[in-house]
């Protein structure tokens, strides 16, 4: 057996995921306009406490060392702490993503006393106006209050999670300063047109010039900032950003949604990318190892229209989810391709053929970009 490079080894798949995201509920008190899971209302089919614990036990047996918990707002679940404790007892590290609403002084103390726990607080602007235009009125103050509680409880270095938008790219330095002031780690991720983000992507996604700005900033500061390696499509600008340079969907990454369905990645909640369910015979492991979808995602991909471009090795043609939900072919350039190959294709994508997310738990209120002032 030869030693081949890491990315080749990763692309052919692993016995269990490395980066598993588990959304515990579709319920959320907020209604962010870019929500990747179109969350809002709870789904009556959501896994109950025993079912969640059973899946955690399966993950322990598969030696999934670490999971990302999200939602919806995961802390809305009454059994949230019980779930965290079960994960901790079974040596599964947890990072959970929250809008901060339920991080009270008391909860912050409780969280600070746990091992193997990371928290990321969502924040999409360094000021009220920028943040609240995306996440809703009052959400800036909520996030800051949660950060204060975590700091006062000596939680340690929590993460501040920022989705990069046209409106906040100029705030990168300010985000970093804010994180430094809290002894927190800044995590910036790429906006994808997933969930409600599909409807708002046109207004929110960074411009071509801003793509360059993000790249330059990451080249200068990348070592101290987490990105989930989500900006690898920018590697076509030149020097590669730190981290893995590949789409991990179904190979190293997957999503378990609140009702137990397993998708290739958190940003492709659509039937086409549903591999199965934790309720299936053989459970999660069977889905991960044997589903037709995941096996096909581990096959070498075709470069499609990217073949003629010399950048494929560095940018891998970008993100599958971003292509899918903008109506572009999966074997071809990313909609945010740095040489503009995606942008010109977008103009010809037929709007009514663009796939819609399969799940929508949005509450029935109107959502508009920049809705509040």
Partner 1 sequence: MTVTLDSACELHPQVALRPEPFGALAYHYGNRKLVFLKHPDVVAVLRDVAAHNTLADTLVAHNVAPERWNSFVSALSSLETSEIIRVRQ
Partner 2 sequence: MDTTAPIAVDTAQAQTASHDSVSSATTTPHIVEELLVEEISIDGMCGVY
Is 6 a binding residue for partner 1 by CB under 8 A? The answer is: yes
CB distance 158 to 118 below 8 Å: yes
Cα 84 to Cα 283: distance, rounded to the nearest angstrom: 21
Q: Is 187 in the site for partner 2 (CB under 8 A)?
A: yes
Residues 208-237: x where in contact with partner 2 by CB under 8 A, - otherwise, as a string? ------------------xxxxx-------
- The burial class, CB within 10 Å (0-12 / 13-18 / 19+), for 263 is buried
**What CA–CA distance (Å, rounded) separates 17 from 65?**
9
CB 250, min distance to ligand SF4, A: 8
For residue 323, the minimal CB distance to partner 2 (Å) is 14
Interface of this chain with partner 1, residues 52 to 71, rule: CB under 8 A? 63, 65-66
User: How far is it, in rounded angstroms, from Cα 61 to Cα 253?
Assistant: 18
| Region of 47-55, 93-101, 199-207, 310-318 interacting with ligand SF4 (CB under 6 A) | 310-318
**By CB under 8 A, residue 1 contacts partner 1:** yes
At 151, give phi and psi (nearest 5°). -65, -45
Which sign does the torsion angle of CA 355, 19, 160, 79 carry?
positive
**What token pair was written down for 114?**
């746990």
Please state the closest distance from residue 323 (CB atom) to ligand SF4, in A.
8
Check: CB of residue 254 under 8 Å from CB of residue 268: no
H or E element at residue 287: helix 283-290
Neighbour order of strands in the sheet with 159-164: 185-190, 159-164, 117-122, 93-98, 66-70, 19-23, 253-256, 261-263, 274-277
Residue 150's φ and ψ, nearest 5 degrees, are -65, -40
Q: Which residue lies nearer to partner 2 by CB, 228 or 304?
A: 228
> Residues 41, 57, 66, 128: which binds partner 2 (CB under 8 A)?
66
The residue within the footprint of partner 2, chosen from 40, 136, 266, 276 (CB under 8 A), is 266
Indicate which of ligand SF4, partner 2, partner 1, none lies near residue 339 (CB less than 5 to 8 Å, by partner kind): ligand SF4
Cβ neighbour number for residue 105 with a 10 Å cutoff: 12
Total residues contacting partner 1 by CB under 8 A comes to 17
Which residues have C-beta within 8 Å of that of residue 98, sequence separation ≥ 6?
73, 74, 75, 119, 120, 121, 122, 146
Give the shortest CB-248-to-partner 1 separation in angstroms.
Answer: 13
- Which residues, other chains included, contact 93 with Cβ-Cβ below 8 Å and sequence gap of 6+? 65, 66, 67, 87, 116, 117, 118
Name residues contacting partner 1, limited to 102-161 (CB under 8 A).
116
Q: Which one of residues 11, 16, 276, 342 is an interface residue with partner 1 (CB under 8 A)?
A: 16
Would you count residue 120 as binding partner 2 (CB under 8 A)? yes
Q: Give yes or no for residue 31 binding partner 2 (CB under 8 A).
A: no
Q: Which of 52, 76, 103, 236 contacts ligand SF4 by CB under 6 A?
A: 236
14 contacts partner 1 (rule: CB under 8 A) = yes
Residues that bind ligand SF4 (CB under 6 A): 192, 236, 247-249, 253, 265, 267-268, 306, 309, 311-312, 315, 317-321, 333-334, 337-339, 341
Residues that bind partner 2 (CB under 8 A): 1-6, 18-19, 21, 23, 36, 65-66, 68-70, 95, 97, 120, 122, 161, 163, 187, 189, 226-230, 243-244, 247-249, 252-253, 265-267, 319
Residues that bind partner 1 (CB under 8 A): 1, 3-4, 6, 9, 12-16, 18, 63, 65-66, 91, 93, 116
């Amino acid at each position: 057996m030869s030693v081949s490079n890491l990315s080749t080894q990763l692309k052919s798949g692993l016995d269990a995921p490395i980066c598993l995201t588990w959304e515990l509920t579709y319920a959320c008190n907020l209604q962010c306009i870019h929500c990747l899971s179109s969350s809002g209302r709870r789904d009556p089919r959501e896994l109950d406490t025993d079912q969640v614990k059973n899946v955690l036990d399966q993950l322990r047996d598969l030696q999934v060392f670490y999971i990302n918990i999200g939602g919806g707002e995961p802390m809305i679940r009454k059994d949230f702490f019980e779930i965290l404790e079960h994960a901790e007892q079974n040596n599964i590290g947890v990072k959970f993503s929250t809008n901060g609403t339920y991080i009270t002084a008391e909860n912050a103390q409780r969280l600070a006393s746990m091992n193997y726990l990371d928290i990321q607080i969502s924040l999409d602007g360094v000021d009220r106006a920028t943040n609240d235009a995306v996440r809703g009125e009052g959400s800036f103050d909520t996030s800051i209050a949660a950060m204060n509680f975590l700091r006062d409880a000596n939680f340690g270095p929590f993460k501040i999670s920022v989705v990069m938008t046209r409106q906040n790219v100029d705030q990168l330095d300010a985000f970093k300063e804010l994180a430094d002031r809290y002894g927190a780690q800044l995590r910036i991720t790429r906006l994808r047109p997933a969930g409600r983000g599909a409807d708002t992507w046109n207004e929110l996604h960074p411009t071509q010039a801003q793509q360059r700005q993000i790249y330059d900033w990451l080249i200068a500061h990348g070592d101290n900032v987490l990105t989930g390696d989500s900006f690898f499509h920018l590697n076509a600008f030149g020097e590669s950003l730190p981290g893995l340079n590949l789409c991990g969907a179904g190979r190293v990454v997957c999503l378990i949604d609140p009702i137990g369905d397993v998708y290739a990645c958190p940003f492709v909640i659509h039937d086409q990318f549903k591999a199965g369910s934790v309720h299936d015979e053989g459970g999660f492991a069977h889905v991960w190892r044997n589903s037709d979808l995941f096996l096909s995602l581990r096959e070498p991909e075709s470069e499609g229209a990217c073949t003629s471009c010399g950048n494929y090795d560095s940018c891998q043609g970008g993100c599958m989810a971003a292509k899918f939900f903008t109506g572009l072919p999966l074997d071809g350039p990313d909609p945010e391709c740095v040489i503009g190959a995606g942008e010109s294709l977008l103009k010809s994508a037929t709007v009514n053929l663009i796939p819609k997310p399969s799940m929508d738990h949005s509450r029935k209120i109107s959502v508009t970009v920049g809705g509040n002032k």
